[in-house]
Amino acid sequence: MEKENPKTTNNLKYRSYGFSLNVISLLELFPKNYIYQTIGK
């Protein structure tokens, strides 16, 4: 089993965090109706 590279692990954490913030920002742009609220959940 290979050892995890700390730089790669941190990079993945930062990229994942940034991606989740982008998804939240996108969901805020959706219309406020039942279908889009269901997708957002």
Q: What is the distance between the alpha carbons of residues 27 and 40, in angstroms, rounded to a whole number?
A: 6
**pLDDT confidence of residue 20:** 93
* Residue-wise pLDDT tens digits, 5-41: 666 667 899 999 999 999 889 888 888 887 777 776 7
pLDDT of residue 3: 64
* Cβ(39)–Cβ(30) below 8 Å: yes
pTM of the model: 0.59
Taking alpha carbons only, the member of 20, 23, 27 closest to residue 36 is 27
Start-to-end C-alpha separation, the chain = 37
Residue 38: what pLDDT? 78
What are the boundaries of each domain within the chain? 6-40
Question: Phi, psi at residue 33, to the nearest 5°?
Answer: -130, 175
- How does residue 4 score in pLDDT terms, banded at 50, 70 and 90? low
